[in-house]
A and B are shown apart, each in its own frame.
Chain A
Amino acid sequence: MTESSLPLAGLRVLDISSFIAAPAAATVLGDWGADVIKIEGPDGDPNRTIMNDSANYPKGAVNYPWQMDSRNKRSLVLDLKKPEARAALDRLIAISDILICNFPPLVRTNLRLGYDDVKSVNPRLIYASLTGYGETGPDRDRPGFDATAYFARSGLLDAQRYEDGPPGVPGPAQGDRATAMALFSAILMALIHRMKTGEGSWVGTSLLGNGLWSCGVIAQAALVGAFLPHRPPPDRPRSALGNIYRTSDDRWLQLTIVREDKMWAPLCEAIGHPELIDDPRFAAIEERRKRAAELAAILSAAFARRDYEHWLHALASHSITFGVISRPQDIPDDVQAFHAGAIVETAIPDMPLTLANPIHVSFAKQRIAHPAPALGEHGDEVLHQAGLTAHEITELRASGAVR
């Protein structure tokens, strides 16, 4: 399979976005063959340094988030506040198919980077907009991050908490990456539209919209006045057989026993409490539900006696279903993660494995990841492609418009 056979080969993408959701959509376009040019300000995309800047990122010897979000991109530094840089950008817009932008609306206006501004330069251009909270409305200009817009504002974190506990905890960029799939879909929709009509278009999505789509069940419920009470903590569950338990090595098992009538005896055997099988306190579902806290206490003590490995085998040998709560550090060793195509090899020497985007197709393979670009690494080559002469490029560098 040669690169030219990738479904998005031949498309040129200007990634004028920062941090994660929008750049990750550009990454996915690149995975499927598009030529992605990352346009950064003189300081570079702050995602270059987020691993160290954010207290909530795992710290590695390799700048893995930047490598993942910028694989196969080329970097050009333009100081878009300078008119010469803005003019150079128009030359690039003229030869591009897709522009991805996540500046707040006010900045777009100031930089003349709204859809109408760029449409006049290239009417076939697809303009993909990512915002925190939408393109209009009272919070239009509020900076949106995935923790605030996707998780907090949508009601996800409030719903994801145990009764009386603090709100749920989002993982770093968790909502951003899910949103990247919606933005990527929007772009593909526009490509289909362009194929039919020859015209470019505006498409977009918001972090808030994606958060609410993801928790669509509870959002749709709220629209008809139905609500989900907060989950009681594991020591007083609604059902002790649909509950989580800590093992002796501080792992968690998620019991999900639906067929209680059938599975009660095997469970008692598996946890080494055969005497419970005929214990009148837990004789049937009704009693077990009524005494859920009491039963949970017995099960907690039992599960806490042995380690996770033990329980994996003990439960499986009694055909008891349970959910695996993996730790992130388990995933690199999970054979199934490779079979699912989630983890793939790279051409990056100090980061030999990375995450593929979750789309798989029979007719093409995602491009292998090459190292992310240094800031401004491809400036001359990209400007040259846009038709600028060596002399013009020198001028732009002298003025500080290109770094």
Chain B
Amino acid sequence: MTEPLPLAGLTVLDISSFIAGPAAATTLADFGADVIKIEPPGEGDPHRQNYKSPNYPRGDHQVNFPWQLEGRFKRSIALDLKNDSARAILERLLRRADVMIVNFPPPARERLRLRWEDIEPLHPRLVYCSLTGYGESGPDRDRPGLDITAYFGRSGILDAARYEGGPPGLSLPAQGDRATAMTLVAAILLGLRRRDQTGKGGWVGTSLYANGAWSNGTTVAGALVGAKLLPRQAPDKPRNALTNLYRTKDDRWLQLLVVRDDRLWGTLCTAIDRPDLATDPRFTDRDERKMRSLDLVQELMPVFASRTYAEWEGALSKTGIPFGVIGRVADVVEDEQARHAGIFADTTNPEVPRTVNNPIRLGFAMPRVSGIPPAVGENAEEILRETGYSDAEIAELRKSGALG
């Protein structure tokens, strides 16, 4: 069943840092691409240090777990791109590459001669993939874009993600970066398809801001026609008691999502052992249930608080009533369904024995099994030899400081 990986034979230069760009490169590598990570000498990609950040999860042992996500399968070469000899190496690497991923802010690209207009004359077949915080032009073009500011803050997600009167919502480390990585993958594949069709490369790209706005698209599209999102009411004051959160007896949160209550109202009343509600004149149709959602929630809160989540799962799961639990990450990693959905994968890295798969599933190929991600510059010599450098030249480059 499994055929050669779809991206086998492609060479990708990952000249990006932190998360969105590198995670896109990881996804390409998962499906067979040879990814060469170009990092600054010394510390390398600053993302290598993120596991020590106070905003990142901590365990008993310090393991560089995020690097398994962003570093896996890559080969690393450390180049000081400000050094002219390093530039020559880069150009030789470029000529053999199919894809290049860049996330330097525009002024740095210009200084380093890494804009598409700098690269295109050298290699017109290249797919040049650009990630920015806020786009390629405009007043905030040069502003450093982080996922919390560009994806979540600026796009209106954090403001929309709050309860009435409460503080803005929270985002998790790299949450928007990782969603954006899927867009970069799509952009690159579109570029490759076009190259297959025409023989020409091209510029492709996206911004964190555009991805936040896309993800928040329903709300933003509403704003474009003057429709305003009403702030979400706290779970005891919902606008619709049938799409609401309920605390269970064991202090979990059950999320009820009966969108089609025109069809499911009776089923729900039966499933929660409140057949009386089905004939309660206050709640006979959708409009009344919505209008009296504060009454309805007062009926439903004690019901849901009377049983554990496991008991509710038993009572609701065969009924067709959409519901879920507010999952805890700790549970998810043991979730049998997550295994079925192909979400996690074993690795051959003893320190990080399991990792998170990219969400793309293919009937004709499985993502590769990952090992230990590279140290800074670990694969420099093999990469340079493949590119035609002699041992003497490599030694020279090391001496000059171009090669870390």
- Say yes or no: B206 contacts A360, CB within 8 Å: yes
- Say yes or no: B332 contacts A184, CB within 8 Å: no
- Say yes or no: B359 contacts A353, CB within 8 Å: no
Contacts A166-B234, A252-B167, A357-B214: A329 and B56 contacting too (C-beta < 8 A)?
Answer: no
Contacts A152-B324, A157-B326, A327-B156: A216 and B217 contacting too (C-beta < 8 A)?
Answer: no
- Distance A54 CA – B232 CA, assembled complex (angstroms): 12
- Say yes or no: B173 contacts A218, CB within 8 Å: yes
Tell me, yes or no, whether A335 is within 8 Å of chain B by CB: yes
Tell me, yes or no, whether A305 is within 8 Å of chain B by CB: no
* Cβ contact of A178, chosen from B179, B220, B224, B365, cutoff 8 A: B179
- Say yes or no: A206 contacts B341, CB within 8 Å: yes
Selecting from B81-89, B237-245, B265-273, B277-285, the interface stretch reads B237-245
CB distance from A258 to the nearest CB of B (A): 11
Which residues on B sit within 8 Å (CB–CB) of A8?
190, 193
Which residues on B sit within 8 Å (CB–CB) of A234?
167
Tell me, yes or no, whether B96 is within 8 Å of chain A by CB: no
- Say yes or no: B332 contacts A212, CB within 8 Å: yes
* Cβ contact of B317, chosen from A50, A67, A142, cutoff 8 A: A142
Which residues on B sit within 8 Å (CB–CB) of A217?
56-57, 66, 69, 172-175, 178
Interface members, chain A 47-82 (any B CB < 8 Å): 50, 53-62, 64-65, 67-68
CB distance from B335 to the nearest CB of A (A): 8
- Say yes or no: A160 contacts B360, CB within 8 Å: no
- Say yes or no: A328 contacts B222, CB within 8 Å: yes
For A202, the closest partner residue in chain B by CB is B363
Most buried by B among A46, A158, A196, A224: A224
Most buried by B among A62, A202, A339: A339
Tell me, yes or no, whether A122 is within 8 Å of chain B by CB: no
Which residues on B sit within 8 Å (CB–CB) of A143?
320, 322
Give 1 or 0 for each of A310-331: 1 = CB within 8 Å of chain B CB. Answer: 0000000000000111111111
Tell me, yes or no, whether A222 is within 8 Å of chain B by CB: yes
- Distance A384 CA – B215 CA, assembled complex (angstroms): 37
Offer 20 A-B interface pairs, CB within 8 angstroms, sorted by A: A7-B197, A127-B363, A137-B341, A148-B322, A153-B324, A160-B170, A174-B216, A177-B215, A182-B360, A196-B6, A202-B363, A210-B359, A215-B329, A223-B333, A252-B168, A254-B168, A328-B156, A338-B138, A340-B207, A341-B207
5 nearest CB pairs, A to B? A339-B138, A137-B340, A134-B341, A226-B59, A60-B227
Q: B interface vs A, CB < 8 Å?
A: 3, 6-7, 23, 27, 31, 54-61, 63, 65-66, 68-69, 116, 134-141, 148-149, 153-163, 166-176, 178-180, 182-183, 185-187, 189-194, 196-197, 200, 202-207, 209-211, 213-230, 232, 234-235, 238-240, 243, 245, 253, 255, 257, 259-260, 290, 293, 317, 320, 322-333, 335-344, 351-365
